[in-house]
Amino acid sequence: MERRGGRGGRSGPRTALGLSACALPTVTRLVTMVAVLGGRGVLRLRLLLSALKPGIHVPRAGPAAAFGTSVTSAKVAVNGVQLHYQQTGEGGHAVLLLPGMLGSGETDFGPQLKNLNKKLFTVVAWDPRGYGHSRPPDRDFPADFFERDAKDAVDLMKALKFKKVSLLGWSDGGITALIAAAKYPSYIHKMVIWGANAYVTDEDSMIYEGIRDVSKWSERTRKPLEALYGYDYFARTCEKWVDGIRQFKHLPDGNICRHLLPQVQCPTLIVHGEKDPLVPRFHANFIHEHVKGSRQRHSARLMVVFPVPKALRPAGKAGTETAPLLPYHSVLWYI
């Protein structure tokens, strides 16, 4: 929900995929089916991933039903708060899904929890403190809230007895993932991020201010969050988020985590929407340039970006919208 990857624009929050945040579950449920790629798309993806990891066996996706649907949820005490999480799968590769601004596992990752291969992965989707069902406490935004989220996320996975994890983060979750990978390098195996930025510009700050009033968001985007939080908490927390994220603009170079990027050691895949109107492309470029071992691709070998087929566009959306046709299951082939 954001100008970045999960923050809103004038018509309400959008994802880094160039889609409304509320459409994310519907669209990703479709793109996780390899059929949407077509034969050439699958071949291209397999060649890409094989190039990233010479000799890797890239499995072919099976029917979604083969992945099972059993998901459990619980809370665990971490750093003085009760953090809510959802967990599924029994694979040896642990993966943590990190949601965006105001997001939760329930709102951001339902299709992935349902459809990812449970024999290969153990998948955990968490609600950061103050978001989703990790309440109380109410969400607040001190100067170190991203670092706090990164520590909470790592400590949650340690409390769940995972020895090492990979991260999939979008929007604020992508920033949190970058910080976690930089600060806890021995614990993070691999990472995929999309819709993240390492600093705040004047342009970003203007976009943030434009989403302060949630009453101006589209009903389609607003409704799921109202259902989760109630209007008052939703509106109040969005205003607090805008103030919280804009505070970075007053730091040297608008720094959020740009100083930490060189410390990221794990293999990193950066995904960015080709025509994302809310996350300027230079943010993904900057992360790519400063994270050692990161990977991006498009026709010029910079981004993972593909146009959205008409069948995948949300109802009422213009044909200019695009999204990476790199489904989560396929992304996990990389990690």
Q: How far apart are CA 15 and CA 126, in angstroms?
A: 19
Rg (CA), the chain: 18
Model confidence at 19, in pLDDT bands (50, 70, 90)? very low
Q: How far apart are CA 3 and CA 206, in angstroms?
A: 10
Model confidence at 278, in pLDDT bands (50, 70, 90)? confident
Domains, the chain, in order of start with CATH, read 71-199+256-310+322-333 (3.40.50.1820)
From 80-94, 156-170, 287-301, the region with the lowest mean pLDDT: 287-301
Q: How far apart are CA 239 and CA 58, in angstroms?
A: 44
DSSP string, 248-289: GGGSGGGBSSTTTGGG--S-EEEE--TT-SSS-HHHHHHHHH
Q: How far apart are CA 88 and CA 82, in angstroms?
A: 19
Bridge partners (DSSP) of residue 126 are 85
From 89-98, 150-159, 185-194, 276-285, the region with the lowest mean pLDDT: 276-285
Model confidence at 281, in pLDDT bands (50, 70, 90)? confident
Residues 161-180, mean pLDDT to the nearest whole number? 96
Q: Which residue has the tokens 């990812």?
A: 116
Phi, psi of 227 (to 5 degrees): -65, -35
CB 264 within 8 A of CB 181: yes
Q: What percent of the chain has pLDDT over 90?
A: 57
Q: Please indicate whether residue 281 or residue 132 has the higher confidence score (pLDDT).
A: 132
Helix (H) or strand (E) holding 169: strand 165-170
Look at the alpha carbons of 308, 309, 315, 321 in this order and tell me if their dihedral is positive or negative: positive
Q: Which of 194, 29, 35, 31 is nearest to 111 (CA)?
A: 29
- Looking at this protein, which amino acid is placed at residue 282? F
DSSP 198: S
Model confidence at 272, in pLDDT bands (50, 70, 90)? confident
Q: How far apart are CA 197 and CA 172, in angstroms?
A: 8
Q: Is the pLDDT of residue 158 over 50?
A: yes
Q: How far apart are CA 113 and CA 97, in angstroms?
A: 9
Average pLDDT for the chain: 76
Q: How far apart are CA 203 and CA 251, in angstroms?
A: 15
Label residue 275 exposed, middle or buried (CB < 10 Å: 0-12, 13-18, 19+): middle
The tokens describing 173, both together, are: 């979750």
Q: Is the pLDDT of residue 332 over 60?
A: no
